[in-house]
Structure 1
């Protein structure tokens, strides 16, 4: 029972750091307007954050491999809170971008430790469910963090959204400090042994599958607020409600993904990709219609929320040993994909318009589908 409580405490921290990373999605139009930059440039606040995580993730894990885990988690959350407070007072876009980069270095540290604790403290048959609890923090950020940040920006200002995100991180910090016991260092492997685990074809196949899956998810989702504003013609408050709807149904989607990935990993991944493809086609053909778009967003949130969990299970189950290092590699891969997705989405918008934003996602889903079939053939 205590083990489950510990996972929920760690998930609270994931909620805080993920709200910092993705909370800007709902306020990108306001930030673009405030700093007089185009929407694709405002998207750098998401893509550059993700790029820092992607590039430095494994190295940060190695750098802090000898540090005690609980103080490392608390320190990471403090840095996230402080960066959000600073962000609210900045008047220059490039300084804001630089400040956003600071907590990004500690994002993979928190994620990797949390995921490795879930995997190491759970029986094999419960691994997917334990990892699902950690990912519930990501879902909660989608349910509450992103829509609340969007609502705060609409009601007060975009600065208020950053203050809200800082408060969430402080709350998470308090939860980790008060309720989480001391965590045993689970890395226990040298740098050489960690990198040796990368000599694994199934691992690389799973990483490419995760990359194109997550890239597909964020090519469109990263500009959801702009799409709803300019194509569906929703106002700020309606957009925040849509983000809330998206995340709320995502709770069920995350649970379903965790339940079925432990028993039917290939079938679950295949169905996920097919449904994700269908959703993006629906967005393209019905995105201009207000009422149908509400239903599409609900279905979108249900499917989208399982993407990270499905990708994580595919990657971590393809190899053994060095759990924190492998999770840091997955975190890097996922954030490379977020970076690539938002940059591709921004490029597509600047050349073809926000109305056709789903096509980069459709291309990436098709590539992910091909890699999944290749992975299936390699493991037969």
Structure 2
């Protein structure tokens, strides 16, 4: 595989770390800024809002620019946002800095996925996307626990300075390893990019992402009380168990990339079915410590098996605007995060039990499977689908590098 994928993975590692580390630092931030933990939790929402707004907007307005330059510019914005977070003197400025940090998130993964698929042969496109996402999943194993420990020992500001340093390393890697490309003179601009998103198949693919990953976050948002109140783990063990989730997510991401190169839609269907089954059995898995740990690993594996297929499917359905569609899919991931957590919370508030968000997640996974099935039916009516080979927009010779083993 091309070394340029390593540069993309470094950027993904930094983004994944800054996205999830705030959850572990909320008590520290709340104490330092003299606010409550629920109010500090709005900092998580501010980042997610930045992702949702920035993903399609930045991808669209940079559509005509060379993609390497766009990726570097997005990481510069990422570094600035995290540096401002470290220096923020009060809650309101920290909120603004977190929003700024989230703006480049979706566009980086969206444009990065287009670059990644353009670096390899058609039969390796899904694997190339999964290798970029590897940085995101490894962040949950290494980056988030280390950054959280650093914040607890040295102060939360030190964490964001360290994340800024990761961003600087990503900028250097992108400049050195990603091959130069040219401005896309045939790009249709903002209106043309947005016009490409009017397609029903594109919205069905985005809907599959929202429902499928909403299933994950319905359960994962409340995994701590499941592990402590139902499975009987001490709170001190939760960090290790969440690292196991990262291990499962990494394995699922790599497996999904490999399988999707053989059958894109088959991998998507299989992943959603597996996710529904795992979540359906979660109340049983949480009855013992060993099975709860296994359930956490299986949850990460089943959910992230669908990551690469979903990314490629959205790009395929909007071949005229792959960067924008791919970035919009990242916005859909974050909508799934917020929506899944909200729906899972409704089940808890209704008194259905600690593991009820997992059962709700299973229903969402089935809904995602139904949307994916509807998308398949639409494709059959429109004509045969060739799969990931239709991703032609990112395969031009000017920015392709020979694949390496």
Which TM-score applies when normalising by structure 2?
Answer: 0.81
Specify the alignment match of 2:62 in structure 1: 64
Q: Name the residue aligned to 1:217.
A: 216
Distance 1:29 1:291, change over 3 A: farther
Matches within 5 A, 1:74-153: 74-88=72-86, 90=88, 92-153=90-151
2:308 is matched with: 309
Question: Could you tell me which residue of structure 1 aligns to residue 9 of structure 2?
Answer: 11
Alignment partner, residue 266 of structure 1: 265
Q: Secondary structure at the match of 1:189?
A: coil
After TM superposition, give the deviation of residue 242 of structure 1 in Å.
Answer: 1.8
Residue pairs, 1:40-59, within 5 angstroms? 42-59=40-57
Contact 2:26 2:37 in 1 (8 A): no
Measured against aligned partners, the alpha-carbon deviations of 1:49-87 in whole angstroms (never above 9, x if no partner) come to 223322342222222334444343333323323433443
CA distance in 2: counterparts of 1:265 and 1:178, whole angstroms: 32
| Counterpart secondary structure, 1:197 | helix
- How big is the shift at 1:254? 1.2
1:173 aligns with 2:171: yes
1:369 aligns with 2:346: no
How much is the aligned-residue C-alpha RMSD, in angstroms?
Answer: 3.0
Deviation at 1:14, TM superposition (A): 1.4
- Paired with 1:170 and 1:159, the residues of 2 have a C-alpha distance of 17
* TM-fit CA distance, 1:148: 2.5
Q: Is the 8 A contact 2:216 2:299 kept in 1?
A: no
- What residue in structure 1 maps to residue 290 of structure 2? 291
Unaligned runs of 5+ in 1: none
- Name the CA shift for 1:289/1:362 in 2 (closer, same or farther; >3 Å): same
Q: Distance in 2 between matches of 1:113 and 1:15?
A: 16
How far apart in 1 are the matches of 2:208 and 2:227?
29
CA drift of 1:98 comes to 2.4
What are structure 2's unaligned runs of at least 5 residues? 381-405
Greater CA drift, 102-111 or 170-179: 170-179
Distance 1:322 1:133, change over 3 A: same
Q: State whether residues 282 and 355 of structure 2, in contact with CA within 8 Å, keep that contact through their aligned partners in structure 1.
A: no
Kindly name which structure, 1 or 2, has the bigger radius of gyration based on alpha carbons: 2
Q: Deviations over 1:186-234 (max 9, x none)?
A: 5841133322322322222211111111221222223434544555454
- Given that 1:69 and 1:183 are in contact with CA atoms closer than 8 Å, whether structure 2 keeps it comes out as yes
- Provide the rounded CA distance (Å) in 2 between the counterparts of 1:193 and 1:28: 41
Deviation at 1:334, TM superposition (A): 2.2
Residue 302 of structure 1: CA displacement? 1.9
Change (3 A) 1:336 1:264: same
Q: Per-residue deviation at 1:117?
A: 0.8
Q: 1:278 to 1:187 in 2, by over 3 A?
A: farther
Is 1:195 aligned to residue 171 of structure 2? no
Deviation (angstroms), 1:88? 4.2
Checking the alignment, whether the CA contact within 8 Å between 2:64 and 2:184 is kept in structure 1 is: no
Q: What does residue 257 of structure 1 align with?
A: 256
Change in 2 beyond 3 A, CA 1:86/1:303: same
